[in-house]
Chain A
């Protein structure tokens, strides 16, 4: 009898423990978190997975169209399977009503998410929920659309998104004001896309700002900017003082346990940095005004110097992206008559540099090619501009035809691109 009671008690405790475990929402087949959209580094109206690139574009009538560039066929087409569809109403999967504000595709290998920035003006005019900032989930073909998160009109949802097939994490900003200051209330939230349960992972304190900067396994890498209280500063150069006293922190936050761990702390002007996959890269400003390039493997926090000295101290550098272990860096002269931008690649393992000379006219200047997507072997680059005819139908049914200047896009193999070859295969645009 005594044994039976012990068995019952044990069973009760095990059951209770199991229930407690389940409430943590750890997915059974858990993938690591990945950044699926980062508008600070990549144009957010485009998003690619291993098979192709999704893109939204403004139709000029309060709606956006959704297209897909297939990496294998090199064809770009509307994400719609209906024959003879005009793609001009909400029965079409390629038609997205936004009220005029932007909508960002976020592609994973299994599904597509759409983030609607929201249009407060349209919402106030119509009180229609579709104009509020929200996120939808669809199949990769654009079907079975469902709303997974809705936001309030005053929330500005902008920043990187991290996702692991189960949990979606994002940054919310609400601007408030008092008599002296406009200040932000910033939080990073994580939503379980199956249950809809949303939890706040981190909230920025007073005089703090936060960004989702990277993701790794179950952790988000948050960049925290800590500024002095502006009311304590005096003089005519308050913003310069404030910047000089600003500190930055990179912190890991486990999205399930909420455990946090400081990775590094640095001061203003010490680093220009990005995170790409599991690496952090930082351009460090040295005492003599030169810059060096460092990397840190975020799996073990091991930091090494890749380049002890950047090619020129008179240039402003922008860290761009990684292609096959080559970190692309854009440079432009700090001052002077020359405005010509340049690009070079740095091997992240041995620091060897290579100039990339292919350029095109964009934004009024000859500059390094804009890279819009990368597949396993190729890049999609913009090599010039071309004029296309656009037909749009307004909400009142009026048809408008106009010419639009768009970027000319082409595929180039990674190998050719890194060797400055112009061996392009142009994208085939289908109606």
Chain B
């Protein structure tokens, strides 16, 4: 219970803090945090403990200052594309793992896990394009090929831990991301 209250307080503080800066990010080597949803309480986070490694999954988790699990870099992949790599191990990027979590679903509703993998080995599963506008304060993270998969925090409430999956359509609030340099 105490943990939930603390999470709620932290989330409220972060929402207020987020109201100040608006970040415009273009492809580069910038260090970023990616905030999920329009209210943006949680950030893109390496799920698990111990050493960061290929194959690990991605979650949303409340912002923790200087956590190596939450610090990412946007690498320029050329032609308007990017890789989103984890800062302490920049060979590893956000990746679409090719086994769906809901294999019986129709093609449009298939969802794929977001994991960490070397982008050099799997460029087609790690190349991402950012869309949107800084004034609307969010970004769409778009898979550049394979039918445009979008990165989604797969819960309606994104204020706590949440799975991050790739979906083929973008319509939900949880497909929106804000990118900033931290607090």
Give the B-binding residues of A (Cβ under 8 A). Answer: 39-45, 58-62, 100-102, 117, 119-121, 124, 156, 158-159, 171, 173, 175, 177, 179-184, 186, 209, 211, 225, 227, 230, 235-240, 242-243, 246, 268-269, 272-273, 316, 318, 330, 332-337, 339, 341, 362-365, 367, 370, 405
Contacts and interface: CB of A to CB of B under 8 A. Distances in A.
Contacts of B123: 318, 330
A240 B65 CA distance: 32
B52 A268 contact: no
A339 B133 contact: no
B84 interface: no
A341 B124 contact: yes
B29 A158 contact: yes
A45 to B, nearest CB: 6
Given A121-B88, A268-B79, 4 more contacts: A119-B88, A158-B90, A239-B26, A362-B121
Contact of A158 (B53, B75, B117): B75
Contacts of A45: 91
A236 B88 CA distance: 33
Contacts of A179: 20-22
A339 B51 contact: no
A239 B131 contact: yes
A316 B30 contact: no
A240 B97 CA distance: 27
B79 A180 contact: no
A119 B51 CA distance: 13
A46 B112 CA distance: 28
13 contacts: A39-B120, A43-B121, A121-B88, A156-B87, A179-B20, A182-B181, A230-B24, A237-B131, A239-B131, A335-B145, A341-B124, A364-B99, A405-B55
Contact of B88 (A61, A102, A330): A102
Q: Please provide the 9 A-B residue pairs with the shortest distance between their CB atoms, ordered closest to farther.
A: A364-B98, A365-B98, A173-B29, A364-B99, A316-B145, A101-B88, A60-B51, A243-B80, A332-B124
Given A184-B30, A238-B133, A364-B99, A225 B124 contact: no
B146 interface: yes
A156 B29 CA distance: 8
B88 A240 contact: no
Nearest to B73: A156
Given A39-B120, A334-B145, A335-B148, A44 B79 contact: no
Interface string B84-105: 0001111100010111000000
Given A41-B120, A117-B89, A318-B124, A335 B68 contact: no
Nearest to B136: A236
Contacts, number: 174
Contact of A182 (B32, B98, B107): B32
A177 B23 contact: yes
A117 B90 contact: yes
A82 to B, nearest CB: 25
Contact of B122 (A44, A171, A363): A363
Contact of A43 (B73, B118, B125): B118
B31 interface: yes
Given A102-B88, A230-B134, A182 B146 contact: no
B42 interface: no
A413 B26 CA distance: 42
Contacts of A337: 107
A238 B133 CA distance: 5
A237 B30 CA distance: 21
Among B79, B99, B123, B144, which residue has the most Cβ atoms of chain A within 10 A? B79
Given A100-B52, A101-B88, A363-B117, A333 B30 contact: no
A40 B77 contact: yes
A42 B120 contact: yes
Interface in B121-171: 121-125, 130-136, 144-148
B133 A101 contact: no
Nearest to B118: A43
Given A246-B80, A268-B79, A177 B99 contact: no
A318 B119 CA distance: 12
B22 A180 contact: yes
B78 A363 contact: no
Nearest to B53: A58
Among A40, A273, A367, which residue has the most Cβ atoms of chain B within 10 A? A40
Among B68, B73, B78, which residue has the most Cβ atoms of chain A within 10 A? B78
B180 interface: yes
Given A58-B51, A246-B80, A364-B97, A235 B121 contact: no
Given A239-B133, A240-B131, A246-B80, A121 B68 contact: yes
A45 B53 CA distance: 13
Nearest to A407: B121
Contacts of B87: 156
B34 to A, nearest CB: 12
Contacts of B145: 316, 332-335
A303 B33 CA distance: 42
A60 B134 contact: no
Contacts of B78: 40, 272-273
B95 to A, nearest CB: 7
